[in-house]
Amino acid sequence: MDRMNVEEFETSIISICSKSLAVISTAVLTFSFTWIKIRTYLRDGSFVDISYNQETGKTAYAQIRDDRRIFGADNKKGWHWHPREDPSLHVKTDKEVTFEGFMKELEADFK
């Protein structure tokens, strides 16, 4: 996938969150011309921190509860998942994990 600029990334995240029944609200925490951090608050009291660096292409999604990651995915060392069963693990995947794909996995717990 071609790298999005920060504005395109933000627009994409907000669009996906606006369609999710698991999401209460979404807020941009910090941003610059080349990076952004967004937080999405979920119905179960947890939240998802989303970060993106346009220059490096590094992207991370982490569901947090009680100050601990409980689920996540990122491409800091190639795309990998941090599964619910043990979020400290790095389960490699050959495919990019999009935010839409991440949310589909996360929303499975909300049905």
46 half-sphere exposure, CB direction, 13 A CA radius: 19
Share of the chain above pLDDT 70, in %: 97
pLDDT digits (tens, 9 = 90+) for 58-105: 999 999 999 999 999 999 989 999 999 999 999 999 999 999 999 999
Within 8 A by CB and 6+ apart from 13, the residues are 26, 38, 40, 50, 99
**Where do the domains of the chain lie?**
6-110
| Predicted local confidence at residue 10, as pLDDT | 96
Are 59 and 76 in contact by the 8 Å Cβ rule? The answer is: no
Helix (H) or strand (E) holding 85: none
The chain-wide mean pLDDT, for the chain, equals 94
| Predicted local confidence at residue 111, as pLDDT | 62
Rounded to whole angstroms, the Cα distance separating 97 from 60 reads: 9
